[in-house]
Structure 1
Amino acid sequence: MVNKSGKSFKLRQNASQSSTRKEPKNNNKKVAKVQSKKTEKEANNLVYPGGDTAFKAILSARFCAAIWSHITDCDETFNYWEPTHYLVFGKGLQTWEYSPQFALRSYTYLLVHAIPAYIYHKILQPNPLLIFYFIRCLLGLACSFAEVYFYKAVCREFGVHVGRLCLAFQLFSAGMFISSTAYLPSSYAMYTFAAACAAWWQQKYPLAIFFTALGSLLGWPFAALLGVPIAFDMLYCQKMYKDFIQWSVISAVTVLGPMVAIDSKYFGKLTIAPWNIVKYNVLGGAGPELYGKEPFSFYIVNGFLNFNFVWVLALLSPVVLALSHILVPARNRATLMLPHTLSLAPMFLWLVVFLFQSHKEERFLFPIYPMICLAGAISVDVVQKLIFRLLCLLSTKRIGFIKISPSSHYLDSTAFVMFAAVTICSLIGISRIFSLYKNYHAPLDLTMELNRFPLEGKFPNESQVNVCLGKDWYRFPGSFFLPNTNWNVRFIKSEFDGMLPAPYTESENGKRIQLGA
């Protein structure tokens, strides 16, 4: 390991955070520092990735996702990639959600991604396909920053053993591979929620509020639900009424003010996009059930596909923690600042709400993906403590050949559990990732081939070319895969009889014109 001064060292950190919890107060940063120092003094040697190493590993995994992950949801193509193509090139497809009549989506969110792409386009004039992957790499970079911040906070709050387990689950899970570079508000909410949790566990409450506001206002308004436990901690546990109100107002004004100004300009009328989407889906609009209903088991099965046994361990974490409170000494199960029940509350609150919604989609669980990895890691850690406790009891009774030294650490005797959990879950996760690439990457590979036609002289650069889509229109990865703006997307008559996206009107006020007008 390498510290900030560049000197090599092995940090002494208690894997179980054996220091007892103290209730934080309003001005409790000093208490936190004392707690942390006490923890280090009581620590055992434990090798784990430092922040720099973790960042490099996460960034490598996210860049792999940026290059090899397919587009899992046609909403990503037609509600985000297509409008972004329009902002950069002045040409793209528009869905009804961007019609001023509804204005459910925010152009401010698009501009966060479109402005770097536009600068890249103007300076280097790259192929549109390169801009697509440029944006994806930016998403991977943003996700990596959020994840490493989350990882360092997990190490501090739950112990470095839980931290390294959580990191391994994040690196090799198919769920994180899919969600990390998806151009979706739910992925953006995942970044901001991971950062909000990290700030919360370090008692940086203003930052936690800001990240929650950023994810729910600029990203997905329903992500505000994840901030309820943070609000509970501030208002009920800490009695920080003034700070909560003050920073909530500051965050809302900082994020929502520019959004309203930008979106109102683009839609040609006063527009508050987060309110519009809540009003449409919850307060009397057509509602999400319009797009189909799924059984209760949908998320159970989907969670296992994306996280395999990590998902099972995450769901069992309340049971495992209850057993821990009964069988494991308190000094070996405490966290640094918050009880497990409060720290994991956002994940279970989210699941309770979304499991009972009729309309279910894979992307709806994206915001809690890092928390799933954390809950799974906590379960593995507690299982190791329970096994060690059992071994100690058997050793005192002199059963068989078991011999446990009274001074030994639980990790010394139960490392096989950690290695088995990480190895099995990682291999299954990698297998799932390869399966996704092999079986679902064809639409991207196929449309990528279109870029060869102008280079081979099959179509002159100035020719107008129509790319026709039939009943598989939803597999189209977006106009960024077309060679240039002379290539057009057209839909032909098929079995699908619903409302299809239509080209933006190529004029100055194209964003203000309703579909079909």
Structure 2
Amino acid sequence: MSSQVQNLTFRRPTNVQAKPEAPPVPRHSGILQDQLRRANRRPWVPSFSLAVRILLLIRTAGAMYSNISDCDEVYNFWEPLHFLDHGHGFQTWELSPNYALRSWAYILLHFFPPHFGNVVLPGDKRAAFFALRIFLAVVSTLVEAKLFRTIVERINDRVGRYYFFFMAFSAGMWSASAAFLPSTFAMYTTAYALSYAFIPTSSKNARRTLAATLSFAVGAVVGWPFSLALAIPFVFEELFVYGADVVTPDERISWFTNRVTRLIGAGVAALLIFVPVIGIDSLAYGKLAIVPWNIVHYNIFGGAERGPQLYGTEPWDFYIRNLILNFNYIPFLALLALPALVVSFFIDRKRLGMYTPGPNQSSPFTILALRLAPLYIWLGILTLQPHKEERFMFPAYPLLCFNAAVCVYLVRGWMEVGYIHFTKSPYRASQAKVFSNLTFSLVVATSVISISRILALYQYYHAPLGVAFEFQITELPNLLNATGLLPFYPEGTPEDETPRIDLAPIKELDLTLCLGKEWHRFPGSYLVPNGIKVEFIKSEFDGMLPRHFEEKLTAEDDTTLVQLAKKWWLRPQTTYVPHDLNDLNKEDLSHYVPVEQCDYLVDLDFPLHPSTSALEPRYAVMSDTWERVACQTFLDAHHSLTLTRMFWLPGELWQSNNEFGDYCLLKNKH
């Protein structure tokens, strides 16, 4: 090296201290303890950030492509929200001030996302519709990810990992996560509450008590009051379980007094939630309205002539069958979780914590049993009710996946114990791949089956949303073009110089879209452009159909609350008491229009197995009167093989076992 070359060495100034590294999170800090490879690094689990990104991708896709499976979602929530936003929509009897069974506070909570969609794309209500669904998907993502990380940190890494993938890919969560329903809202609040309730109770951790209590209360008061039943084990633990405390006999009375006082304080704080909810609902209904109590009173004390049983009853096994459809074999694992815990207590007790609890401590067995209990309570309560709906299980979906994840982990533990018993070698057990292969296979299998179910829902039942899309994107622009209401652009005009089609001139045509026997699959007014009236025509259905909200408020009733509503409420017409709505499910003929008044009609026809009657003729084949402008396939479930209608697989062989009908938008030729 040349003597004229000098080397320079740079180093950090000695007066600047290096940032201390964060202390590592202890691996074995949860209720359930791994017994093999304890000294190794912890198994891979997604971080909170990665979990959010994965879930957000899946939940947003669900918001965009999942079906609306329940007409209650449309008529009791999307329609009143549309009325708040646009001044017209359908009103159900539950939204009449006479009954006040739906909370306007809950509906108002969802007002701003679609309103933002209207601002971004004015005139396109589809943007508002999907803005709200994506917003709900984001909320679901955040609460799911928070509960997932709590399970990882407080229960076990592997249990958290199983839970994450069970939730992420399940067909049940695909449909429930972005649904505009109080039961979905209760699912959000329950998951958030559990993210605190799964932390062992302690006299030093008042934040856990307050956060969980408030979360359960918000779900019950704003969303669905019956979801409060999921908090029963939490309340029991808070009052009677030592948790992280060590309590001597002399301290038990003061300890219990402090716990009761703390829970009562949290309960009083939770009662404050009633104040804005009752205020908003009373303003909207024009009278004092305590909606949670109205719901409980109607469902439990409604009497023999009225009540939810008017809208159908189901056998005792309805929820089991429905859960199997949406979660395949996960419900079996979930229901076996508590028995599996008992078995593990006898054959694999070390997995339930590394210490033997004394008389002044709580055992990990007791604490974990309380974590597993809410699912059994919820399923038991719902099974006893004659009226059953798929959406009623939504609040317990996170618990279903949690119980199943615990069961898988405990069964894996049995296998490890058996392997060591026969080989007499913990080392060989630690190197064996059979345990990870089994759990990996279980997770992958349920994910594949769930994806097949999700594809079936889209391929077989998405036609109502698909036809609504074609109505707005294809048929109405063609109609405007044919009537000369579209602006003319010279041939060859670049696409980027052609503005979005403005459907506002459609109002000049005074069009009516009619629904007959397909009234229950109507996706809502957000997917029907403004200027088009939606009406019902008579079908074989003889129950209570919704009416239109009043667009102007009469001076019929001018109480103090009504006067306040006129001043402070978005749509004071909600205070109007309609005389054509009842809670006996008896139809009112004033809600129908003659079919001759319809410019467009939505109907479903099964050409291979046609059915017709005086009230439900086959409109789709009446070519002299009706023109098919948009048709999509819709599964004929009654004439399709059970397995192939439940799941979707590519190939003609699989689809040959299914039969389909035509879900059509028809145009009146006269």
**Number of the residue aligned with 1:449:** 470
Distance 2:91 2:109 in 1: 18
Alpha-carbon distance change, 411 to 160 in structure 1, aligned in 2, over 3 angstroms:
farther
Distance 1:376 1:161 in 2: 12
User: For residues 125-274 of structure 1, what are the structure 2 equivalents within 5 Å?
Assistant: 125-202=122-199, 203=201, 204-238=208-242, 239=256, 240-253=259-272, 255-274=273-292
SS of equivalent residue, structure 1 residue 13: coil
Native 8 Å contact 2:468 2:528 kept in 1: yes
Native 8 Å contact 1:19 1:336 kept in 2: no
Alpha-carbon distance change, 10 to 231 in structure 1, aligned in 2, over 3 angstroms:
closer
Distance 1:44 1:178 in 2: 37
SS of equivalent residue, structure 2 residue 412: helix
* Structure 1 gaps, min length 5: 21-39, 397-402
Alpha-carbon distance change, 333 to 295 in structure 1, aligned in 2, over 3 angstroms:
farther
**Bigger shift: residues 486-495 or 410-419:** 410-419
Distance 1:176 1:127 in 2: 28
CA drift of 1:388 comes to: 0.8
Q: Does 1:325 align with 2:371?
A: no
Distance 1:6 1:354 in 2: 53
**Number of the residue aligned with 2:575:** 512
Native 8 Å contact 1:83 1:94 kept in 2: yes
Instruction: Give the counterpart of 2:298 among 273, 276, 280.
Output: 280
**Amino acid of the structure 1 residue aligned with 2:51:** A
Q: Does 1:482 align with 2:531?
A: no
**Number of the residue aligned with 2:109:** 112
Instruction: Give the counterpart of 1:493 among 527, 538, 553.
Output: 538
**Amino acid of the structure 1 residue aligned with 2:435:** T
**Number of the residue aligned with 1:298:** 318
Distance 2:351 2:72 in 1: 49
Alpha-carbon distance change, 151 to 336 in structure 1, aligned in 2, over 3 angstroms:
farther
CA drift of 1:275 comes to: 0.6
**Number of the residue aligned with 1:465:** 511
Distance 2:229 2:396 in 1: 11
* Structure 2 gaps, min length 5: 1-18, 202-207, 243-255, 355-362, 484-504, 554-571, 581-670
Alpha-carbon distance change, 111 to 18 in structure 1, aligned in 2, over 3 angstroms:
closer
Distance 1:168 1:127 in 2: 36
CA drift of 1:337 comes to: 9.7
CA drift of 1:14 comes to: 3.7
Alpha-carbon distance change, 218 to 377 in structure 1, aligned in 2, over 3 angstroms:
same
Report sequence identity in percent: 36
**Amino acid of the structure 1 residue aligned with 2:269:** I
**Number of the residue aligned with 1:375:** 403
Instruction: Give the counterpart of 1:364 among 388, 392, 397.
Output: 392
Alpha-carbon distance change, 440 to 11 in structure 1, aligned in 2, over 3 angstroms:
farther
Distance 1:44 1:148 in 2: 22
CA drift of 1:45 comes to: 2.8
**Number of the residue aligned with 1:28:** none
**Number of the residue aligned with 1:308:** 328
With the length of structure 1 as denominator, give the TM-score of the two structures: 0.89
Native 8 Å contact 1:10 1:47 kept in 2: no
Distance 1:318 1:289 in 2: 32
Superposed CA deviations along residues 256-300 of structure 1, whole A, max 9, x for unmatched, are 100111111110000111011111111234221111111111111
**Amino acid of the structure 2 residue aligned with 1:482:** V
**Amino acid of the structure 2 residue aligned with 1:241:** V
Distance 2:40 2:123 in 1: 53
Native 8 Å contact 2:344 2:414 kept in 1: yes
Native 8 Å contact 2:150 2:195 kept in 1: yes
CA drift of 1:121 comes to: 2.1
CA drift of 1:455 comes to: 2.9
Superposed CA deviations along residues 81-114 of structure 1, whole A, max 9, x for unmatched, are 0111001101100000000000000000000101
**Number of the residue aligned with 1:24:** none
Q: Does 1:46 align with 2:10?
A: no
SS of equivalent residue, structure 1 residue 153: helix
CA drift of 1:44 comes to: 4.2
Superposed CA deviations along residues 229-280 of structure 1, whole A, max 9, x for unmatched, are 1111112225311111111111121x21001111111100001110111111
Q: Does 1:55 align with 2:52?
A: yes
Native 8 Å contact 1:11 1:47 kept in 2: no
Alpha-carbon distance change, 411 to 476 in structure 1, aligned in 2, over 3 angstroms:
farther
SS of equivalent residue, structure 1 residue 393: helix
Distance 2:210 2:364 in 1: 20
**Bigger shift: residues 77-86 or 109-118:** 109-118
SS of equivalent residue, structure 1 residue 224: helix
Distance 1:6 1:90 in 2: 59
Native 8 Å contact 1:59 1:141 kept in 2: yes
SS of equivalent residue, structure 1 residue 489: strand
Give the superposed CA RMSD. 2.5
**Bigger shift: residues 77-86 or 445-454:** 445-454
More helix by proportion, 1 or 2? Answer: 1
**Amino acid of the structure 1 residue aligned with 2:390:** E
Native 8 Å contact 2:113 2:128 kept in 1: no
SS of equivalent residue, structure 1 residue 282: helix
CA drift of 1:419 comes to: 0.9
Distance 2:284 2:313 in 1: 33
Native 8 Å contact 1:288 1:359 kept in 2: yes
CA drift of 1:332 comes to: 5.0
CA drift of 1:126 comes to: 4.6
SS of equivalent residue, structure 2 residue 427: coil
**Number of the residue aligned with 2:421:** 393
